[in-house]
Amino acid sequence: MKQRKEKTIFSAIQPTGNITIGNYFGAIKNWVQLQPDFNCIFSLADLHAITVRKDPEEFKQKALEAYALLLACEINVEKSLLFIQSQVNTHCQLAWMLSCCTEFGELARMTQFKDKSSSHSDNVNCGLFSYPVLMLSDILLYRADFVPVGQDQKQHLELTRTVAERFNFLYGPTFTVPEPYIKRGAKIKSLRDPTKKMSKSDPDLNSRIELLDSPDKIMKKIKRAVTDPENHVKYGENKDGINNLMTIYSCTTGKTLDEIEKEFDGIGYGEFKTTVAEALIEHLAPIQKNYSKIIKDKGYIKNCYKDSAEEALNISNETLNEVKKK
Ligand code: AMP
Ligand code: TRP
């Protein structure tokens, strides 16, 4: 991280499944745009991912691919840190200490825990329960001022603030109390059920567009996206499918919803879908091109994550040592 800016941003993403346009427009694109103005520290949260059992070889490969894809999206390791969580030991160490400052009841109230423990009732492990303690340790180690995430992570950030304030109160000022940085808008929905968010773990592949989908696949998935019988491109109630396609088109072209309604006045869904798919294909082309170059150069990828992990260790060790002393 070359330049020290006044404020620091921390965020992370799990290297599970293939990154979707939901992750991209909801999170990663914001990260890229924040780089010129903040000290940016980003992480691939592989330790968070193992609350669900993984095939070891496949998991390793996915982490490498996710890392390369973040580089291809223009997370710039000259300006920002992009490290793999398990390579920086301070995270688990702080997590243990801070788990002693977190109440059982606070963790039991987390909606993500409640949802995931009911949807994976065959493997409700302690990691799933204490997941937020590792997450708040990720953030507090770097004294982050802002944490850009989607709406779904807001409750975990509130807990981060509570635990930071509790520690500061008990042992004296130590942690920066971070603010969530939640961008309104770009919440991308499933193409098959546009009342649900687009998710990289949805078993239906047609529900999502992955950043590395071929043009042909993108066209087919958009063509099959659920709409409504109206055949009128307009943002509104009971039009979740069209609202979602308009949001995707707006994210790719920068056009407003009003402009989009005007552009497609009198034009049917068939032609609208083709235009959305073409815009998306064009938008993703440079990322896909970067990715295919980067993924061939394992040496480069390794250098990037090793350098970032080393610097992350230096920064986070300072915080960890201060906490240990206290
Ligand atoms: P996850 O896929 O749960 O690892 O999420 C990684 C990041 O992407 C988080 O900041 C999420 O809030 C964000 N995200 C995930 N899915 C979507 C979506 N469909 N629309 C917008 N943001 C999303
Ligand atoms: N829990 C986050 C998610 O599923 C990923 C994550 C782990 C994270 N550690 C973090 C996000 C720290 C922000 C800050 O999306």
d(CA 235, CA 326): 55
> In this model, does residue 2 exceed pLDDT 60?
no
Ligand 1 environment, Cβ below 6 A: 13-14, 22-23, 26-27, 149-150, 152-153, 186-188, 197-198, 200
Ligand 1 atom nearest 149 alpha carbon: 10
Residue labelled with tokens 């890229």: 32
- The pLDDT score that the predictor gives to residue 184 is 62
Q: Is 178 exposed, middle or buried (0-12, 13-18, 19+ CB in 10 A)?
A: buried
Active-site choice (154, 183, 200, 217)? 200
- Size of the chain, expressed as the number of residues it contains: 326
CB neighbourhood size of 13 (10 A)? 20
Probe target for ligand 2 pocket from 9, 14, 151, with the most ligand atoms within 8 Å of CB: 14
Which amino acid does the sequence have at 128? L
Ligand 2 environment, Cβ below 6 A: 10-14, 45, 48, 135, 138-139, 147, 149, 153
pLDDT digits (tens, 9 = 90+) for 99-141: 999 999 999 999 999 999 998 899 999 999 999 999 999 999 9
> In this model, does residue 151 exceed pLDDT 90?
no
> In this model, does residue 186 exceed pLDDT 80?
no
Probe target for ligand 2 pocket from 149, 151, 160, with the most ligand atoms within 8 Å of CB: 149
Q: How much of the chain exceeds pLDDT 70, in percent?
A: 98
- The pLDDT score that the predictor gives to residue 157 is 97
Residue 1 confidence class, pLDDT cut points 50, 70, 90 = low
pLDDT digits (tens, 9 = 90+) for 258-275: 999 999 999 999 999 999
- The pLDDT score that the predictor gives to residue 17 is 77
Q: How much of the chain exceeds pLDDT 90, in percent?
A: 90
- The pLDDT score that the predictor gives to residue 90 is 98
> In this model, does residue 182 exceed pLDDT 70?
yes
Average pLDDT of the residues in 210-237 = 96
d(CA 279, CA 287): 14
Instruction: Tell me how far the alpha carbon of residue 266 lies from the centroid of ligand 1, in angstroms.
Output: 34
Ligand 2 atom nearest 156 alpha carbon: 1
> In this model, does residue 172 exceed pLDDT 60?
yes
pTM for this entry:
0.93
Q: For residue 197, indicate whether it is catalytic.
A: yes
More confident residue, 326 or 1: 326
Q: What is the DSSP string of 264-320?
A: TTT--HHHHHHHHHHHHHHHHHHHHHHHHHHTT-HHHHHHHHHHHHHHHHHHHHHHH
> In this model, does residue 183 exceed pLDDT 80?
no
Residue nearest to atom 6 of ligand 2 (CA): 12
Ligand 1 atom nearest 14 alpha carbon: 4
Bridge-based pairing of strands 81-84 and 146-148 is unpaired
The 3 state secondary structure assigned to 26-58 is HHHHHHHHHCCCCEEEEEECHHHHCCCCCCHHH
pLDDT digits (tens, 9 = 90+) for 77-98: 999 999 999 999 999 999 999 9
Averaged pLDDT of the chain:
95
Average pLDDT of the residues in 37-64 = 95
Residue 16: partners with Cβ closer than 8 Å, 6 or more residues away: 49, 52, 54, 62, 200, 201
Probe target for ligand 1 pocket from 152, 182, 191, with the most ligand atoms within 8 Å of CB: 152
Residue nearest to atom 15 of ligand 1 (CA): 23
- The pLDDT score that the predictor gives to residue 3 is 62
Q: For residue 60, indicate whether it is catalytic.
A: no
